[in-house]
Copies of this chain bind each other. A is one copy, B any other.
Amino acid sequence: MATNVHTFIRETQDVTAKDLLDTLAPVQIPNGNFNEKITPKIRSKYRHVAALHSKVQPSCLSHETTDAPSFLGFRNLMVLTIIVMNLRLVVENAQKYGLLITVKMNLRTSDIYTALILYALTPCHLFVAYIIERVAMENAKGVVGRRKKVDPNQSEPETEKDKKDFYYTWWWIAVAHTANASLALLITSYVVYYHIHNPGLGTISELHAIVVWLKTCSYAFTNRDLRHAMLHPGGPESALPEIYSNCPYPRNITLPNLCYFWWAPTLVYQPYYPRTENIRWTFLFKRIGECMALSVFMWLVCAQYAVPVLRNSLDGMASLDFSSIAERLMKLSTISLIVWLAGFFATFQSFLNALAEIMRFGDRVFYEDWWNSTNLKMYWSTWNKPVYHFMRRHIYSPLVGRGWSPQAASAWVFVFSGFLHELAVGVPSHNILGVAFLGMVLQLPLIQCTEPLAKKDGTGKVIGNCIFWINFVFVGQPLAAMIYFFAWQAKYGDLNQPSGK
């Protein structure tokens, strides 16, 4: 022991400060006070006396700290926690149910044939709309021709007679378009409700009809305005967007132009769209790959995880046991969130981008960063841009133009949207319950409540964002899914057994 103490004191002196500092580098020197009062070359020979507590300073989580610490580590922890919690549910699910996924499809052949026929027939209404527009265009051309004969340099403003003429022409065009568009929707809804048992196939058919219906409406409305602008050229208030000069009316009333609109990933008709230079095939195949992978993923998640939860919710729903319903709702919410996010990405990022790539459609803003929405209005105007564009151009803006208040116009947009949602959900599930409709209409008071939050800073915005998520992910989706599932079971019994027919 004697030598030990000796060596200890001697060796301490032999080692230079630089050596020590080098070896110590990997370990943080606490607060830089470790070597206080000692120049770099000379280090104290005493190892047990360092003044580790040398100044008054607060803990980093106390309010007195001047700069709050970063909490980035907790973000990583949250991601890991969610992964682990869900992994546990996966193991639990496997222990309880084993493998629920079967490749066997419970599709009736008649369902498939009916859906295929609908798929082929629905776009015909677009072509009927084209024929109507063609006739209207020939008629308008005639008006212009007659006018030029009477007075080749006519440039006087629109007369009362002109307005009356335009109105009468528009009246029969409007009747023809309304009949054509309504038929598209009515026929499909009837067929889906009465003849397609499978709700998945029904939803696809119904959504297809809604898209065609909206496209037809946009085509008719836009061409009406373009025709009016041609017939009554005027001052800057009747100017058209510059981009349309690439294809002015009536040169846009052609079959290729309509076919482009038919397949373009948009619901608003424009005679001319910004286009990309060429098709990037790698980009396209990546998007298609994503789309397929995500579809398989959603199918697996639904079959293995959502169906058991929904099944187990039936008893609670039947007996209105609220704690059991709440428990099922919360379990379903994570699953429906995952499915919804995957579905959103598959549709709005992968599918629409793939379609746009094939069509060389330039404007890919199919969505904006809706996940940061600080109020519900922001969410509804960013998550689904194609529908938002339609609602804005063909419903909200004209209503405001007619003198409606923005609130009333918004309200009407949500009522209309609720009607479309009920069509898309209620008809394929053979249960027009009005839940989807109500879900949309009830957004109006919620928007009123959350609107002030968007104007606030910091916490207000975070609260707004949380209200949006709770409303949307934790209450809206899973509750609606449970109600329609319950209604389905009440009507048909087991989901996988086609009813008696």
A residues contacting B by CB (< 8 A) are 1-2, 5-9, 11-13, 15, 20, 23-24, 26-28, 30-31, 36-39, 42-62, 69-82, 84-85, 87-88, 91-92, 94-95, 163-164, 167, 170-171, 218, 221-222, 224-226, 228-229, 235-244, 266, 268, 270, 273-276, 323-324, 326-327, 330-331, 333-334, 337, 345, 348-349, 352-353, 361-373, 377-378, 381-382, 385, 389, 392-394, 396-398, 400-403, 405-406, 410, 451, 462, 465-466, 469-470, 473-474
List the 6 shortest-distance A-B pairs measured between CB atoms, nearest first.
Answer: A56-B362, A51-B241, A73-B371, A88-B330, A53-B363, A69-B369
Rounded to whole Å, the gap between the CB of A453 and the closest CB of chain B is 13
Q: Which residues of B contact A403 (CB under 8 A)?
A: 11, 15
Partner of A73, one of B167, B396, B465: B465
Residues of B within 8 A of A72 (CB): 372, 465
B469 touches A80 (CB 8 A): yes
B49 close to A238 (CB less than 8 A): no
Residues of chain B within 8 A (CB-CB) of A402 are 7-8, 11-12
Contact A49-B397, Cβ < 8 Å, known A5-B167, A79-B78, A372-B73: no
A55-B363, A73-B369, A84-B330 are known contacts; what are 10 more A-B pairs with Cβ within 8 Å? A28-B381, A31-B365, A53-B270, A56-B363, A59-B352, A61-B345, A71-B372, A74-B371, A75-B78, A85-B85
Instruction: Report the minimum CB–CB distance from A21 to chain B (whole Å).
Output: 11
- For residue A68, which residue of chain B has the nearest CB? B369
A222/B82 in contact, CB under 8 A? no
> Which chain B positions have C-beta within 8 A of A229?
46, 49
- Residue contact A353 to B92, C-beta cutoff 8 Å: no
Q: Which of B5, B170, B266, B276 touches A56 (beta carbons < 8 Å)? A: B276
Q: List 5 A-B contacts (CB under 8 A).
A: A13-B237, A27-B396, A30-B385, A45-B237, A71-B372
Please name the residue on chain B nearest to A50 by beta carbon. Answer: B393
Cβ A363 vs Cβ B26 within 8 A? no
Q: Check if A331 sits within 8 Å of B369, measured CB to CB.
A: no
Q: Do A45 and B238 touch (CB < 8 A)?
A: yes
